[in-house]
Homo-oligomer: A and B are copies of this chain.
């Protein structure tokens, strides 16, 4: 992430060009269902997040649900060469105006005459969300339409239409590209999956699907009358513990059911204990695996088999938690948490590069106005949200998201800024949860340096976004707020004697505590100079006496910080120890928390419950990100990979190869100690590497940057082979 906030001006020009190209491309796309931007995401996330159950009780989130607008007006202007017979599909009754004149009834189609026309649909739907699909040869609903939630179109006493001050915004859309494929009927994809093993347990059986999975239990050859209980387990222990497992279902059959029964509630599990009444018989248990269809556009393979396994299980963990949205865990919470999602965005850029999932998740998290609490009620989670928006722009080059949702960025930032104390620092007020990490004994009250650092970074993100949104006054204001806060952060929290960042100040009294959090973030935010970084590395990051991190969540940043200062060899060992440690415990997906000091069933406990821990948690997947960004070494340096860097680092491996996805392609790489092969689809890359001897390239010109340090410019669609001698 180094420097990513610096060279903005140049990139902005690029982004503007890039986005107008996008608009052009949309004109040739088929019709698609459209809605008020963000509303589908709000509706779907409301629906999805309440699917968490705890022993058959629903367990909805603790934060506010926003709602879609129940009444919206879609509008477009067309200029067509011939009359167009246009089919109309609507979720909800509509009022259609053609050139401002009401068309009576609820027509299923309309002929739009040749020439210039203004078409508008006011659609009402209070149960789901208003959406339309308009399909003619020329006139079709797509991302170029506009929408408003208050059209303010009134008729005066003489019958003349009056309208002003209507807040039009670009519509939202996704991939609902046929009339039948309605947003309100959205479902993830499913496919049948067989059990790997079954085992008799009392009068019932334990079904093992071989690895962590997600979906709907199917019962085959079902006959008879009576009850069937299903006890789910991410672990064998959990499925067997019918009294304490976290999820279960009690089914009841009257004898008239079909022979194949599919449960309508999705669950996360590897094991299912099935206990049926004597009156009920069945042949076998299978499942419908439910997933979001995504391409694994990123790849990684190396000479280290354990590392390869870590990457594979990370990718699977990531896929299981990349669903309607990037959720935290598939058993629990099945919710969208901003801090967790922030990591998923980053991993996504190195695995699926699925922009739509990032947008959906950002929108679900942000909701609407008014802002009455932090995102997920957590102070740090509001702040990650801003940085997530910036990262989205950096990786995708898409300015439309920021332009459309800048007002929501601003109102969330207003909320945050209003909660600063008299010193200009964020300090928790009533209702604010300071999370940082699950870590026993971690102090979270008063002014915590970590939160201020995230706020500074968020303000920088706001400054960039304000410029994209064309709000120059805002840009200046946010830039100044960011720079003032950074100055204050160092004035107050930087310990000049110890050369480390302190953790906390309470009522003006600096607390004698150093933690990893602000220290590691400051490294990859590039807030420290080289001397400071070295001091932090030795006194904090590599110091076992500083409060240890036990969640993959914060290990993500800890290892990123170490990678950012070139400690790839050390980090590789840490990854193998930590994630390898989970694999040795039998993990088939990565966990919410892992403490190597725990034993056996202790690993399953959390939140005071024997199976409270989530064994498939998105934040467990960070090796995807670390290996892609700091070993393959690929990262964008201009929005949308217009420019990027490749800085491979074997970190002690013999060789590695892999792919890092870019918006419209990939960077493919093979690296051994003597050879680097690279081919990219787009943008201009800088391959930077060290070599003991003078390297040779099959194409392009190698420049010497410093002693033993070389650079090769990578152009699209050219395969480069570099012979070199690794140091």
A358-375: which residues lie under 8 A (CB-CB) from chain B? 369-370, 372-373
| A65 & B149 in contact (Cβ 8 Å cutoff) | yes
Partner-contacting stretch, out of A25-33, A164-172, A221-229, A480-488: A164-172
| A62 & B150 in contact (Cβ 8 Å cutoff) | yes
| B431 & A166 in contact (Cβ 8 Å cutoff) | yes
**A330 lies within 8 A of chain B by Cβ:** no
Instruction: For A153, give its contact among B62, B70, B440, B606 (CB under 8 Å).
Output: B62
Task: Evaluate whether A152 and B63 lie within 8 angstroms (CB atoms) in the complex, with A56-B105, A430-B164, A440-B157 already known.
Answer: yes
Q: Which B residues are CB-close (under 8 A) to A104? A: 54-57
**A597 lies within 8 A of chain B by Cβ:** no
**A106 lies within 8 A of chain B by Cβ:** yes
**A68 lies within 8 A of chain B by Cβ:** yes
| A56 & B106 in contact (Cβ 8 Å cutoff) | yes
Chain A window 52-66, contacts with chain B (Cβ cutoff 8 Å), 1 for yes, 0 for no: 001111111111110
| A102 & B54 in contact (Cβ 8 Å cutoff) | yes
**A498 lies within 8 A of chain B by Cβ:** no
Chain B minimum-CB-distance residue to A550: B157
| B46 & A431 in contact (Cβ 8 Å cutoff) | no
Partner-contacting stretch, out of A8-16, A91-99, A556-564, A575-583: A91-99
Question: How close is A405's CB to chain B, nearest CB, in angstroms?
Answer: 15
**A69 lies within 8 A of chain B by Cβ:** yes
Q: Which B residues are CB-close (under 8 A) to A59? A: 95, 102
Instruction: For A124, give its contact among B50, B106, B607 (CB under 8 Å).
Output: B50
**A334 lies within 8 A of chain B by Cβ:** no
**A406 lies within 8 A of chain B by Cβ:** no
**A154 lies within 8 A of chain B by Cβ:** yes
A160-201: which residues lie under 8 A (CB-CB) from chain B? 160, 162, 164-167
Q: How far is the CA of A5 from the CA of B164 in the complex (A)?
A: 36
**A696 lies within 8 A of chain B by Cβ:** no
Q: Which B residues are CB-close (under 8 A) to A609? A: 159
**A127 lies within 8 A of chain B by Cβ:** yes
Question: How close is A65's CB to chain B, nearest CB, in angstroms?
Answer: 4
Q: How far is the CA of A612 from the CA of B102 in the complex (A)?
A: 14
Instruction: For A152, give its contact among B159, B431, B608 (CB under 8 Å).
Output: B431
Instruction: For A71, give its contact among B46, B69, B155 (CB under 8 Å).
Output: B46
Chain B minimum-CB-distance residue to A158: B608
Q: How far is the CA of A438 from the CA of B157 in the complex (A)?
A: 6
| A372 & B150 in contact (Cβ 8 Å cutoff) | yes
| A57 & B165 in contact (Cβ 8 Å cutoff) | no
Instruction: For A65, give its contact among B69, B156, B162 (CB under 8 Å).
Output: B69
| B372 & A167 in contact (Cβ 8 Å cutoff) | yes
| A106 & B43 in contact (Cβ 8 Å cutoff) | no
| A152 & B71 in contact (Cβ 8 Å cutoff) | no
Q: How far is the CA of A32 from the CA of B592 in the complex (A)?
A: 43
The 8 closest A-B pairs by CB, nearest first: A165-B431, A159-B608, A67-B67, A165-B430, A65-B71, A64-B150, A55-B104, A159-B607
Given A64-B149, A155-B607, output 5 extra A-B contacts at Cβ < 8 Å.
Answer: A54-B104, A57-B105, A60-B95, A65-B124, A166-B431
